[in-house]
Structure 1
Amino acid sequence: MKLLVPLAALALAATPALAQQSAPAPAAPATPPKLVVVISVDQFSADLFAEYRSQFTSGFARLMTGAVFPAGYQSHAATETCPGHSTILTGDHPSRTGIIANDWTDFAAPRADKTVYCAEDESVPGSDSNHYTVSDKHLKVPTLGEWMKQADPQSRVVSVAGKDRAAVMMGGHKVDELWWWDGKAFVSYAGRTAPDAVTRINAATTARVAEAQPALDLPAFCRPRSRTIPVGGNKTVGDGRFARAAGDGRAFRVSPEFDDAVMALGAKLATDMKLGQQGHTDLLILGASATDYIGHSYGTEGSEMCLQLLSLDQTLGRLFDALDRTGVDYQVVLTADHGGHDLPERHREHAAPTEQRVTPEVTTTSISRTLAGKLGLTGPVLVGGPGGDVYVTPSVPQAKRAAVLADAVKLYTANPQVQAVFTRAQIEATPIAHTPPETWSLLERARASYDPQRSGDLIVALKPRVTPILDPVGGYVATHGSFWDYDRRVPILFWRKGMTGFEQPLSVETVDIAPTLAALIKVPVPVEIDGRCLDIDAGVADSCK
């Protein structure tokens, strides 16, 4: 396989990633690590981890020698990017973090656009949910980085991601450096001065985008996955190899090169800031977004995803080599914000004939129109959906709200693509579950995503294997966001040099990551949280004590 020319010429020198694996493992350190590295791979499902783990030879291979939890859970129903990232370093479900979805409806928002993006400040004049000012204001709870700063104000927190919401939700409210990709460059909050690392990586990335990219070589493992899948009109997916025209920034983002840029910037900041080298424990957060963009654009089972995951494995290897050269004792955890589901057209060819796309009848527009006609109402009656949060609009008279909700439940329930519909009263009467997440009822999953100020009047669960994309021709072909385990299950991998590895196939949750890391670095958890500490010592000792 031809590897990408790494942007990491600045930070990730290409030395053999597995050279250290052949040497005898040193004894596990008795002291806490000085640097915690948290990596989220957007849309890296437990299914993808299982499918590709035998092919990993570099970064993932190193992580698999540590504590491996192949059945991690984003336990909630709203399996989207923003809620998922909000769980990883807070120890809380979205019901506590307040991040119930990527966006929600707030009819009291101070602008005409009542859709609120999870990582924006909607009070900024002239903004809307597509043109916004990035903010952490909607995250209701502190993060691990904030716990660390409370225990030691000289601890530093650096958060870098391909998406603003990933950087913000994991970084939290008190960060030393926070950078995300805005489509052209890595940017931050207004007024923040770019350090040399950002300036140099931005220059390297600009130069990289300006160059044409030939098609990547197809490894033998990927060749059976390279097959053209028609998805409507003249659009096909499944056999792409990331050839890119010069200057095509969108194609750069939807390619393995994108994660290389994120990791290069993270490594360069860690090196320049001497993270973990100044007598205090620091936190480096990295959000790799390309897997998500590729999963949406091409699905999860074609040549595109195969090339992405094998490339990401090499990129992670270069990242760890760069961190090794600093001599810092560092602890890594890698997980994902949610899983993902392949496009139904390919599923139907792969022994899953019941796979389907939503029909127009289940869309909120259709349900709303039917309700308006039946009840003699004008204007939109419902907004949101088709799955997830659905809101009754203020145009519905108070005297008719109960009728609208009752009839909406009947219409949704009667639709053959809908599994269940829950009202506010049902969800609020449901306690938060504390049982293994695979045993949770749909109502318990909805409860873990519910915030009374932000959630919908109804929560709609589509049936399994129903993809909520009506027409894939003009946009994404596959997605996530369902109540089902293919979107909830993600791997959780812990690694530190010298640790004795083990694999635990039983379920754990992403809310368990923050308290586990806090125990390793001896930082108290200053608030009540949903998660629990995981003992990642393979022997009789307990890393939670």
Structure 2
Amino acid sequence: MKKPLLLLFIIFISSFINAQNNSEKPKLVIGVVVDQMRYEYLHRFENHYSENGFKRLMLEGFFAKNTHFSYIPTYTGPGHASVYTGTTPANHGIIANGWYDKFKNESVYCVQDDEVNSIGVNGKAGQMSPHRMLTTSIADQNRLHTQFRGKTFGVSIKDRGAILPAGHTANAAYWFVGGNEGKFITSDFYLDELPKWVTKFNRKTKQYFKNWETLHPIENYIESGSDLNDYEFGFKGKSSATFPYNLKKLKSENDNFDILKPTPFANTMLTDFAEKLIENENLGQDSDTDFLTLSYSSTDYAGHNFGVNAKEIQDMYIRLDQNIADLLNYLDENVGKNNYTLFLTSDHGAVHVPNYLKGKKIPAGYFETEKLQNAVKDFVEDQYKSSKLIEGFSGQHIFFDYDELEDHDVEADDLQEALYYFLLQYDKIDRVYTRDMIENSSSSTAFSRNVANGFHPKRSGDVIYILEPAVISYPPKGSTHGSYMSYDTQAPLLFYGHGIKKGQSYQSYYIKDIAPTLAALLGIAQPNGTTGKVIGEALKK
């Protein structure tokens, strides 16, 4: 009888120890956002990926294969804010990268802050902070939960990609300024001076000026279009947007360090910087969970430059796969293989170049925004004898001047209705929404919900128009984004590491579900504006 009892005791102790280990929180959470990454890139270029990058996340982590953004417009600022706040622009307030501030009568940038100073550079490039984001991020909640012992750092090439994810309480956020500077900077919202390790890193950024050739033979890149085509911008000083690109030779005609932004070498630089940050800030080295938010911006710069079907995009992602593998290996060695949790997603997708689609007999086109704005002014002048009733335009929002409305004895709802019918007749406009429709609607259609989720009552316009599918206000080359069509809203979502259950799901999830899922994993409060839900099937019991 003694042996069975001893065996039961050993099993009990083993189970208890395992339970204790499983209940421990990760030492480090890494959030990876790949700017403008279409979901399909995980599969389209899969045959060229290594076993240690994207495939490692897909095969060993939890892969949510039907994840979307649930608002419009799908831009970088709103995307990063939504990932980390667990809600949509209707609550966190980042309705676009920039918008018209009707209280100040001026256009504002989502992270612009004239009350702070640049650190690491002269001028306004560092005058940035998260003050326009109205809610907390998951990183803020972790700081609050750990009595600010848990650290948070945000890094990106773009300022908004570093600042918004890290939240209001970050130890620091770092972003890259190009031109003749070529350095990572911050603002005195976070620090009084750059740490020595950042200054040291900034001295070596010239090493990333390299010759960009395809990593593998270009003839093997059958998953993308012809290298020579009519749909890409390329670089000044080179007659065609074709490989190879000698960045050292081209940089003087392309604003020096700015030429790095649409190339894979900026991704490598960002990965190297992130690893130096982990080392020098001792992330993941104690019992309080730390956060690192990492946003790869170069994929977006490349998409805008070359379009989503370009050879350059394919090579960009094949090389990014190596960056992800390097980062995972670094984390394994320096934080511990079961000591970190990582998620990877995107801030939006992108549309194929409309001219390319038109050439394949797929409906697509271009929209002249300035022409529409003039037509609106002319219509209002004709109907109400004053074009001043329109105060301004921002994106696809039209703003009224309420003082002028009162002076001309015009009711806002009458002007909304008039513009609604006028815009519906306008070529290439698909749908129109007014402030009254959005604020008073209980519509359950997906399109209406997406518009409402992106509408903030104090920051949005009075009339919003939506373009037809694959119709964009953009030059005739390169890709862009912003719509509520699936090419813009579907995003990859991968969870990996500590506390994550291996598997995949086709269940419908939204980007706003990421933050509450992390809160559940960490056992902390959700961000204060959360409207997402916990993805329970991604977590170990």
| Residues 1:55 and 1:506: Cα distance change in structure 2 (over 3 Å) | farther
Alpha-carbon contact 2:233-2:306 (below 8 Å) kept: no
Counterpart of 2:398 in 1: which secondary structure? strand
Question: Judging changes above 3 Å, is the alpha-carbon distance between structure 1 residues 79 and 479 closer, same or farther for their aligned structure 2 residues?
Answer: same
Residue 366 of structure 1 aligns with which residue? 375
* 2:27 counterpart of 1:34: yes
- Match of 2:486? 485
Shift of the alpha carbon at 1:370? 3.8
Q: Tell me: CA distance 1:192–1:260, structure 2 relative to 1, closer, same or farther (3 Å).
A: farther
SS of residue matched to 1:460? strand
How far off its partner does 1:160 sit? Answer: 0.5
**Is the CA contact 1:360–1:366 (under 8 Å) kept in the aligned structure 2?**
no
Alignment of 1:209-220 (within 5 A): 211=209, 213-217=211-215, 218-220=217-219
Conservation of the 8 A alpha-carbon contact between 2:26 and 2:341: yes
Q: How far is the alpha carbon of 1:257 from its aligned partner?
A: 0.9
Distance of 1:533 and 1:312 partners within structure 2: 29
Aligned twin of 1:453? 458
Task: Give matches, 1:17-416, under 5 Å.
Answer: 30=22, 31-57=24-50, 58-65=52-59, 66-109=61-104, 114-121=106-113, 133-153=127-147, 154-183=149-178, 184-190=182-188, 191-205=191-205, 207-208=206-207, 211=209, 213-217=211-215, 218-222=217-221, 225-231=225-231, 239-246=242-249, 247=251, 248-328=256-336, 329-349=339-359, 351-359=360-368, 363-378=372-387, 381=390, 383-385=392-394, 387=396, 389-393=397-401, 396-398=404-406, 399-400=409-410, 402=412, 404-416=415-427
Cα contact 1:238–1:299 (8 A) shared by 2 = no
Q: Residue type of the partner of 2:470? A: R
Contact 2:234 / 2:241 at 8 angstroms: preserved in 1? no
Partner of 2:472: 467
Distance of 1:395 and 1:245 partners within structure 2: 55
Is the CA contact (8 Å cut-off) linking 1:78 and 1:100 kept in structure 2?
A: yes
Please say if residues 211 and 244 of structure 2, whose CA atoms lie closer than 8 Å, have aligned partners that are also in contact.
no
In 2, Cα distance between equivalents of 1:234 and 1:276: 41
Cα pair distance change 1:285/1:431, threshold 3 Å: farther
Unmatched runs of 5 consecutive residues or more in structure 2? 1-17, 118-123
CA 1:150–1:123 in structure 2 vs 1: closer, same or farther (change >3 Å)?
closer
C-alpha contact (below 8 Å) 1:116/1:122 kept by paired residues: no
CA drift of 1:212 comes to 5.2
Q: How far does residue 208 in structure 1 lie from its aligned partner after superposition?
A: 2.4
Residue aligned with 2:204, SS: helix
Task: State the partner residue of 2:522.
Answer: 521
TM-score (norm 1): 0.83
CA displacement at 1:231 relative to structure 2: 4.8
Deviations 1:209-263 (A, max 9, x none): 5x45353454444255233332599999764544323443222111111111111
- Counterpart CA distance in 2 for 1:526 and 1:452 is 21
Name the CA distance, whole Å, in 2 between partners of 1:427 and 1:535: 32
Question: Which has the larger share of helix?
Answer: 2
> CA distance change for structure 1 residues 268 and 536 in 2, over 3 Å: closer, same or farther?
farther
Cα distance between partner residues in 2 of 1:369 and 1:233: 35
Instruction: Please tell me whether the aligned partners of residues 76 and 448 of structure 1 are also in contact (alpha carbons under 8 angstroms).
Output: yes
Q: CA deviation at 1:395?
A: 7.6
How much has 1:100 moved relative to structure 2?
0.9
Larger Rg: 2
Separation (CA, whole Å) in 2 of partners of 1:267 and 1:531: 31
TM-aligned CA distance change 1:259 to 1:415, over 3 Å = same
Instruction: Please report how far the alpha carbon of residue 336 of structure 1 lies from its aligned counterpart in structure 2 after TM superposition.
Output: 0.7
Tell me the residue number matched to 2:12: none
**Shift in CA distance, 55/401, structure 1 to aligned 2, threshold 3 Å:** farther
SS in 1 for 2:399: strand
The share of aligned pairs that are identical, in percent, is 25
Deviations 1:440-488 (A, max 9, x none): 422111110111110011111111111121x34xxx6321001211111
What are the ranges of 5 or more consecutive residues in structure 1 without an aligned counterpart?
Answer: 1-26, 434-439
Moved more, 366-375 or 83-92: 366-375
Matched with 1:443 is 448
TM-score (norm 2): 0.84
The answer to whether the 8 Å contact 2:80/2:161 transfers is yes
Instruction: Give the partner amino acid of 1:185.
Output: K
Question: Root-mean-square deviation (CA), in Å?
Answer: 2.8
Partner of 1:188: helix, strand, or coil? strand
Residue 530 and residue 396 in structure 1: after superposition, are their counterparts in 2 closer, same or farther (change >3 A)?
same
Q: Which residue of 1 aligns with 2:11?
A: none
- Equivalent residue letter for 2:203: A
Query: Per the alignment, in what secondary structure is the counterpart of residue 187 of structure 2?
Result: coil
Give the conservation status (yes or no) of the 8 Å contact 2:92–2:135: yes
* C-alpha separation in 2, matches of 1:380 and 1:365: 13
2:197 maps to a residue whose letter is A
Measure how far apart 1:144 and its partner are.
1.0
**Distance change in 2, residues 1:520/1:232 (3 Å):** closer
Range with greater deviation from structure 2 (310-319 or 50-59):
50-59
